[in-house]
Amino acid sequence: MANTAIHVKHKKLILLTIAVTLLVGVIYANFAGPERKIQTRIEHLYSVDDPQFLRSMGLLLGPSIMDGNTATELINGDQIFPAMLKSIRAAKKTVLFETYIYWSGEIGNEFADALSERARAGVKVHVLLDWIGSAKIDDAVIDKMKASGVEVEKFHPLRWYNLGRMNNRTHRKLLIVDGTVGYTGGVGIAPIWTGNGQDPDHWRDSHYRIEGPVVAQMQSVMLDNWAKTTGKVLHGVEYFPSPKPVGVQSAQMFASSPNGGSESMLMMYLLAITAATRTIDLSSAYFVPDDITRDAIIAARKRGVRVRIITPGEHMDAETVRRASRGLWGELLEAGVEMYEYQPTMYHCKVMIVDGKMTSVGSTNFDVRSFRLNDEANLNVYDAGFAARQTEVFEQDLRKARRFTYETWKARPFMAKAQERMWSLLGSLL
């Protein structure tokens, strides 16, 4: 009996060891990127105004920069959702929609009804939802869309063969209608994005409506994930009509994914920050910069660049991220970076404006998760007029934000310092 008991105990120990080993392997696979992390600092060689900057952004890093576009900002749900729904309801051939968050509720039902109506009318409608981000959507909403002919798929659902990719989410927010009109930004489909950012239950966010040749790049970004998820390649004139210029803005749709070029978005941000000679304005919902990005920002300050950063204040959906962020502000504040915390509600914007010439908007947060783990997509617009308008929006937000000084940072209570230090060390896991 004693030998039997020892044998059973030994067997349980082996099984426990295997289980722990598998768990550690899954965690490592999810948080360790497939590529070696960027360690080399980028040297300042030219400014944003230099044609070489555009060549680097379009040839060294990303897709071609395309002329003839028009991008327009939409502020908060009261402007964003009516515009998106109007475009969906006007669709004649195709609708492609990829989003991280899609929850049930009135706005979720309204989108489902609009997409379903177009599918019943013969429009090809494709919806790609992140499996984790859309966890709060009722099956009935999805069933309604599918019954109407909408193709709905989930990105990286829980499967045994997906365990090593569970932390790779599609954080992109892309809507493309008839291959001619596109939308991107920070907004998900949920009640918190409705309204006008008027209180803590209604978030402050921006989305962007785009027309012109760059919409084809937006389409290709969405279709790449659609092909990876379904094995189907969507193409043809219904998806890629002949591009027509509709404005004067130059733009490119920049995308990144751990499955290919996981750090290309980080490289894009670093190159833009390194090229800055006058101003950097950054709106960031989740600002947890690593050593490389902090060094780039500090180097910009040493060149005399004014750097202003708006992050969420007390109204934030992830307090651990806020603490991790604050723990990293010391050397930035000491270098003269202006840090601001937005006061009225959760601040979910993701915008960077450099030297009044380049503006990058989209889904990317300024943290390791966006730079190395998520699938992200940003629209880069190279146009002084667009940058000037986004600077106006930034300064409107600035008036509703409270500045956080170096003196305030040093005077934090001991427990706050300890907690922020702990969370900042775990920044790559947040």
Active site residues: 171, 173, 178, 348, 350, 355
Helices and strands (H, E) in the chain, number of each type: 14, 15
Look up tokens 């979910």; give the residue: 348
Spatial separation of the C-alpha atoms in residues 280 and 301, rounded to whole Å? 10
Alpha helices in 148-276 (DSSP H): 214-230, 264-275
For residue 369, give the DSSP letter: I
Continuous segment of H or E residues that includes residue 14: helix 2-31
Contact 272, 244 (CB under 8 A): no
Q: Which residues, other chains included, contact 225 with Cβ-Cβ below 8 Å and sequence gap of 6+?
A: 98, 128, 155, 170, 172, 257, 375
Cα separation of 332 and 339, whole Å? Answer: 9
Could you tell me which residues are beta bridge partners of residue 226? none
C-alpha dist (Å) from residue 313 to 404, 412, 419: 10, 15, 17
Tell me how far apart the alpha carbons of residues 301 and 376 are, in angstroms, rounded to a whole number: 27
Q: Bridge-partner residues for 207, per DSSP?
A: 74, 185
Nearest to 357 by CA among 251, 213, 211, 209: 251
